Structure 1
């Protein structure tokens, strides 16, 4: 869920949930209060406004008593002078937090409960009630009262007034309790809503941020060996995913850097080891010449040829090192050209054949491709591939009768070159790694099979840069076959060009 969506939901929850719960709570409490009022005072169907507003509610408390007094006045006004009758009515009113007062002329003839002279003095006189229902509200500094007033005349014609006085102090307690409970309910609802929102936001936002902070601390300390939980599809989840990808990339780069440093150290060590042998030989034979050990023309010629061969070995190692540095920075210079397969490989075989013949190795060449087959390749670099593979084969020859077979095959869109030897072969455990940089199956690095360990990795890089592929099969004590494929050159006709357009 996106953060924008969460904010919208949070806004709706904050606005609507408390409102709905508050309305539901108040409605339930009003129904409860209405039920209590009905049981206590006999007032049915008391609405929420009557419960909250004391005036209409108090007015309904004594409505029946007021109608009874008015009926008595209408039928027999003289009963309003009967103290026992008035006391009976007053007892009923006391149960409703009210009392009766009767004034005859200017004199209070019956006082059912008021001891406040100010209230008695402020009661409206005959004909002074302003309410059409005979109801007035009076506010005293110590008391708030509701007065119901009915005016009448005795048989003697004397003006009289009957008052039903209801005190807010008694009934207001219930109203205040209702308001307090309403406020408490609203506060509880708001607190619960706030807690829900805080927990939700904390779990969905703060917790991932805390994880990001811990992850950043780990990276700052150089610790990349951890995994960041990337659950969630919101912006923070996407940030966590990106952060985890960054951590993995940093870890891969760090591991690659360590691996490169290890390989570079291995290269330096290998080159130093492999250069030491020919340099030692050059130095030794040179000293032999200077000391006069080579005192015959034959010995002198042998010493000079040995020095020359060792210098060639060093030159080869240095060239490989130079080429390796270009491979490492992807700066191998290529000069691609269209080559006829039959002519190109025939020249290569003739050149290689002379060297192999001198070393007592038989070379067989088979071309199964058509004479007009062509490829696009760099002739110099492709020759380097062939020379490196054959040089590797020669290095590990251990048979009395030695041979190398070169086969050229047409395999659809590619030309496949196979170079087979009958050397000592490669163990199956080593076969997957022979094209890795600095990998050598001969861990001892003796002078007979020395080398930088980057020859086949250079071969693989060149073939892949030509859009091809290289692999090998081998069997120990039987020999090895190297395979590589180069894409054929195909003419594009005018019709094909128009079709492509």
Structure 2
């Protein structure tokens, strides 16, 4: 979930969930408590507006008591002279936070409140109108009470009044409980909503940030061997995914750097090994000359030719090392020119042929390309490619009569060069790796098949920099064919 969506939902939860939950809880509490009020106080009205009016409320929940006393005053007024009867009536009123006062003439003959209550002077005068069971007199004094008055005549002819006194200070305990329960419920709802949001935000934001913090600490300590798990499509998850991708690239970069360091060490070791043999030969033959071992002109010439050959080997190794350093920093000095394919390869084959003839190796050359086909290439670097491939073939020729075939073909937009030998071939398991730096299919190292192991990697780099491609096929004990292609040069015809 997107962070923006998450924040929008959080805002809606903060606003609407507490309100909706509070309304539902208060509605349930209201139904429950109002049912209790109806059962306890006999209030049957379904309109609860009277709960907001204390006078109306106090009037309602002594209504039945008032009607009962009104009936008794008309039927048996002398009951109000019976203290036991008055106590029973007062006890019932006491449950409704009310009490009874009975007046005869100007004297109070019964006061149901044990503590100091209203005096005769506080009570209203005798009413001349008919009694009203709904109305009452509200006295706003120290005791703030609602007084319901019933005037009647005792059998002896004296006037009397029965008063139901209800204190407005007292609230229904059910209403108090409703208010308390509602307040507690709202607090619990807010706490629940806050806890729910905290857990949700922690799961979606804080936890991924903690993971990022741990991952950052690992990288800071140089540890890249871990995985930052990501799930979801929000911004934090995308950040974690980007961080994981960065970790992978850092690890790849570190591994490449370590591999490069290993390769450099291996290169130095290979070059040192391959230089050791010609240097040893040069030292030996030069000492032979100095010591007079070569005492005939023929021996001296032989010694000098050997020294020259070994010096050339060392020069080739050093040139290869120099080119490798340029490849490694992408600083090969190319000098591209437009070349005629037939003329260029004819010259190459002529030079290669002389060298192969001296080594008693057969050479066959086939050119299937038209004489006017042109390419854009660096003649020196392209010659290096051909020489490296041919030189590699010479190293691994194992037949009594070595043979190398070179074919130039036209393959549409490219010219394809094929260099085939009848050497020992390359194993299928080694073939995919022969263009990698320092890879040697022959693990043994000797003066016959030595080399730095970077010759074919240099060839691949040069061909790719020419916009071409190189590959090979081989069969063990039969031979190997190297292929590479270079795009033809085509004139761009502009419309007039």
TM-score (norm 1): 0.90
SS at 2:417 equivalent: strand
Distance in 1 (alpha carbons) for counterparts of 2:394 and 2:80: 145
Per-residue CA deviations over 1:385-441 (Å, capped at 9, x if unaligned) read 001101111111121111111111111111111000111111112111111111112
Residues 109 and 257 (structure 1), Cα distance of their counterparts in 2 relative to 1, 3 Å cut:
same
What do the CA deviations read for 1:258-303 (whole angstroms, capped 9, x no partner)?
Answer: 1001100000000000111111111111111111111111111111
CA distance in 2 between partners of 1:252 and 1:43 (Å): 82
Tell me if structure 2 keeps the 8 A contact 1:426–1:476.
yes
Q: 1:134 deviation in Å?
A: 2.3
Please say if 1:246 is aligned against 2:242: no
Aligned to 1:333: 333
Shift of 1:55: 4.2
- Residue in structure 1 matched with residue 353 of structure 2 by the alignment: 353
In structure 2, the residue matched to 1:314 is 314
Q: How does 1:174-185 map to 2 (within 5 A)?
A: 174-185=174-185
Q: Is 344-353 or 205-214 further displaced after alignment? A: 205-214
C-alpha deviation, 1:69, in angstroms: 5.2
1:280 counterpart residue number: 280
Instruction: Report what 1:375 is aligned to.
Output: 375
Paired position in structure 2 for 1:342: 342
Matched residue SS, 2:482: strand
Q: Is the 8 A contact 1:218 1:224 kept in 2?
A: yes
Report the counterpart of residue 413 of structure 1 in structure 2. Answer: 413
Contact 1:463 1:470 in 2 (8 A): yes
Match of 2:119, SS state, is helix
What is the CA–CA distance in structure 2 between the aligned matches of 1:119 and 1:257, rounded to whole Å?
102
Cα separation, partners in 2 of 1:57 and 1:297, compared to 1, 3 Å: same
The separation in 1 between residues aligned to 2:82 and 2:405, in whole angstroms, is 142
State the 1:151 CA deviation: 7.2
Residue 138 of structure 2 aligns with which residue? 136
Deviations along 1:106-162, whole A, 9 cap, x unmatched?
A: 421332x1123343367343289xx9932415575xxx6632233758699988654
The corresponding residue for 1:186 is: 186
Secondary structure (helix, strand or coil) at the match of 1:401 reads coil
Distance 1:450-1:379 versus aligned 2 partners, 3 A rule = same
* Cα separation, 1, equivalents of 2:45 and 2:198: 41
Q: Offset at 1:63?
A: 2.1
The answer to whether the Cα contact below 8 Å between 1:368 and 1:407 also exists between their aligned partners in 2 is: yes
CA distance in 1, matches of 2:75, 2:116: 26
Structure 2 match to 1:79: 77
Residue 120 of structure 1: aligned partner: 119
Distance 1:283 1:10, change over 3 A: same
TM-align CA RMSD = 2.8
Q: Aligned equivalents of 1:296 and 1:320: distance in 2?
A: 36
The number of residue pairs the alignment matches comes to 488
- CA pair 370-52 structure 1, distance change in 2 beyond 3 A: same
Q: Any gaps of 5 or more consecutive residues in structure 1?
A: none
Q: Evaluate the alpha carbon distance shift between residue 136 and residue 386 of structure 1 in structure 2; reply closer, same or farther with a 3 A threshold.
A: same
In the aligned structure 2, how far is the partner of 1:50 from the partner of 1:329? 93
Which position in structure 1 is the counterpart of 2:43? 43
In structure 2, the partner of 1:147 is 146
1:464 to 2:453 alignment: no
Aligned to 2:448, what secondary structure does the other structure show?
Answer: helix
Tell me the SS of whatever aligns to 1:399.
coil
How far apart, in 1, do the equivalents of 2:368 and 2:55 lie? Answer: 116
In the TM superposition, what is the alpha-carbon distance from 1:345 to its structure 2 partner? 0.9
Q: Are 1:469 and 1:486, in contact at CA under 8 Å, matched by a contact in 2?
A: yes
Identify unmatched segments of 5+ residues in structure 2.
none
Q: TM-score, normalised by structure 2?
A: 0.90
Structure 2 residue 40 is matched with structure 1 residue 13:
no
Q: Give the conservation status (yes or no) of the 8 Å contact 1:34–1:46.
A: no
Greater mean alpha carbon deviation, residues 41-50 or residues 25-34: 41-50
Q: Could you say which residue in structure 2 is the equivalent of 1:435? A: 435
1:460 CA drift (Å): 0.2
Q: After alignment, is 219-228 or 457-466 more displaced?
A: 219-228
Aligned partner of 1:300 in structure 2 is 300
